Structure 1
């Protein structure tokens, strides 16, 4: 069992001083040999969808590559999150090697702009960046790449087929904002909950926005026992 411990530090309702202190613990020791063990690889073979946070590029990129290549060879869906600006900056080579296998790329506006800067794209326009990422060459033509970029309170950007669609987020009164840590992960969780059911992208984004909206009204990455999803 992998263990990652994250401590969230919040100062005031304005979210100033928001930070995360992570202890990768056992996760930092992960090796591809563990993934290749028959009982573990059997789980990979059974799956139809794969989602990997970009943070894992700092630990075992060869493990990610194994899963990504398996997904491409078997017409499965592989997804990745940009995760953090420093991943785009300091793990650029590993990220570039993996990107041709990625069918869905998730990230926020800061990560997208860092990705653009690192690759010499002379634009900070998130919509343009999302399109460029979606048009990055693919290793398999089975699935087109869709780029999903969140922008906090601003509309979520979805780039597909060379076009952009904007999705407004759920408006939240300032006094109800408690903790934005985990909002991006919650968004992806909501998004994937619909994607694996074969729902259209519009429904996936709606579910993602809902999940993120719930998380930011609570301290820590917690969820109410009886969420009211509409």
Structure 2
């Protein structure tokens, strides 16, 4: 998402390439509320090309406000999954995933909607929340690109986010637990 602030043309070139290839997916992270607030035009240019959308509850709320839709993770997922694609694109099924800290994850895949419960984590083991969302996206995409199920991909995203929460900064350190 942060690339919206500097080079939308490059995003659109990459997106156009992935849009014409059944095996390539374009993932996009809402990244921060200010992107939906101040880079609305750029986001509107890019989102039709996106296959997988990620965000957290605060980012989804800013997105909903910018689109004048209901302020809920479900509404944001539904808006994205039903967004019109450019005619030249292969019409792949879209996925939207909104995380919400320790609360349930809201997702939509095509027209299938659901929530995914996040198992509790010992609050005392949380060292730093920076990068937890990025860890979730990395874990999800790692599994998903291996043709794992949506549930398996979300579970790996949660596992990676929890790993990052136990680190100072976004440090991968010892990854033997994966």
Q: TM-score range by the shorter chain?
A: over 0.9
Residues 64 and 72, structure 2, Cα contact 8 Å, conserved in 1: no
Structure ranking higher on relative contact order (CA contacts 8 Å, 6+ apart): 2
What is the TM-score with the length of structure 2 in the denominator? 0.93
What is the TM-score with the length of structure 1 in the denominator? 0.73
- Gap runs ≥5 in structure 1: 1-53
Give 1:63-102 correspondences, 5 Å limit: 63-75=10-22, 76-102=24-50
Give 1:57-206 correspondences, 5 Å limit: 57-75=4-22, 76-121=24-69, 123-139=70-86, 140-206=89-155
Deviation at 1:163, TM superposition (A): 3.2
Return the alpha-carbon distance in structure 2 between the equivalents of residues 132 and 141 of structure 1. Answer: 19
The root-mean-square deviation of aligned C-alpha atoms, in Å, is: 1.3
Which runs of structure 1 show a deviation greater than 6 angstroms over 4 or more consecutive aligned residues?
none
- Gap runs ≥5 in structure 2: none
Task: Count the aligned residue pairs.
Answer: 175
Deviation at 1:126, TM superposition (A): 1.4
Choose 1 or 2 for highest CA Rg. Answer: 1
Deviation at 1:141, TM superposition (A): 4.0
Which protein is richer in strand relative to its size? 1
